[in-house]
């Protein structure tokens, strides 16, 4: 058991978008990656770029089987084994495990159930179901002491469950995928447009704003990262405008720091002080 003293829970979105997703959450004594859709080289280099090259990686939490979330699993598994001398577990649902392409399957898989918490070191991990067009997708909350941070992306609609989870987060990485007008007027084939805007696709700016609006009353949120922004059907400016409108409505613009996740590089690391163990 760790003794009682202050430390920081750090969150950094290393990459976010349709070409690869990965977020690190850890407190210096234990840490996890949520998804590994970036190349292993990029993942480790970007951690180093933000001064976290020696941050512990004790587990990899996979949200679902799409390649932009799990494509580097096997190579990352091998690299972490060389680095630590042991197989780092990759946590995923049974549905996600069934959906993996054989070439990305890592050595050590731990099958989890949505709604059943587990530990990675002293960190508490809470997987919860989200509506997406894969076999058994989840979002994740990770807790150090009394502080929760989490990643909520790749869902087609807001749900009451997601709203409750979002309300508990001090640091929220939340999908603002597309602007509906840009999507419908864009170059995507109609079936793809229907898939993206469908109830098991991705959150629009409007839907994400609705989810944020419903979660903010009694929320613990201090930091918000706008994530999985489409390079084709959205812009950072449109996503920020949607989020800031909600924050202004709740007079929370001075209480919640907003960053925009990027595909090309990591965001500035977020730190939240943890004192209760």
Q: What is the pLDDT of residues 167-209, one digit of tens each?
A: 999 999 999 999 999 999 999 999 999 999 999 999 999 999 9
DSSP class of 102:
G
pLDDT of 34 reads: 98
Average pLDDT over residues 24-40: 97
- Residue listed under structure tokens 């859709």: 37
Residue (of 20, 23, 8, 2) closest to 151 by Cα position: 23
Q: Of residues 177 and 277, which shows the higher confidence score?
A: 177
Residues 144-156 have pLDDT tens digits of 999 999 999 999 9
d(CA 220, CA 235): 27
> Is the sign of the CA dihedral 267, 117, 39, 208 positive or negative?
negative
Residue 218's pLDDT band, with cuts at 50, 70 and 90, is confident
Average pLDDT over residues 72-88: 95
Residues 99-155 have pLDDT tens digits of 999 999 999 999 999 999 999 999 999 999 999 999 999 999 999 999 999 999 999
Average pLDDT over residues 248-258: 96
* Ordered structural domains, the chain, with CATH: 8-271 (3.60.15.10)
- Residue listed under structure tokens 């770029």: 49
């Amino acid at each position: 058991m760790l003794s009682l003293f202050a430390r920081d829970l750090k969150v950094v979105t290393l990459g976010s978008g349709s070409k690869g997703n990965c977020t690190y959450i850890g407190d210096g004594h234990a840490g996890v990656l949520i998804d590994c859709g970036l190349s292993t080289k990029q993942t480790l280099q970007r951690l180093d770029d933000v001064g976290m090259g020696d941050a512990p990686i004790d587990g990899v939490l996979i949200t679902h089987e799409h390649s932009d979330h799990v494509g580097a699993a096997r190579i990352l598994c091998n690299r972490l084994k060389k680095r630590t001398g042991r197989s780092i577990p990759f946590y995923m649902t049974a549905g996600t495990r069934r959906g993996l392409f054989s070439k990305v399957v890592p050595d050590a898989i731990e099958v989890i159930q949505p709604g059943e918490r587990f530990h990675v070191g002293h960190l508490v991990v809470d997987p919860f179901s989200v509506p997406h067009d894969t076999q058994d997708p989840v979002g994740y909350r990770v807790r150090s002491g009394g502080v929760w941070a989490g990643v909520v992306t790749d869902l087609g609609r807001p749900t009451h469950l997601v709203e409750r989870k979002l309300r508990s987060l001090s640091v929220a990485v939340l999908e603002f995928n597309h602007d509906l007008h840009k999507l419908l007027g864009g170059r995507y084939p109609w079936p793809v447009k229907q898939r993206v805007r469908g109830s098991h696709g991705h959150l629009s700016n409007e839907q994400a704003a609705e989810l944020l609006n419903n979660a903010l009353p009694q929320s613990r949120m201090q930091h918000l990262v706008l994530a999985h922004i489409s390079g084709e059907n959205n812009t950072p400016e449109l996503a920020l405008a949607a989020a800031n409108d909600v924050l202004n409505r709740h007079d929370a613009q001075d209480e919640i720091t907003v960053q925009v996740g990027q595909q090309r590089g990591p965001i500035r690391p977020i730190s939240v002080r943890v004192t209760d163990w």
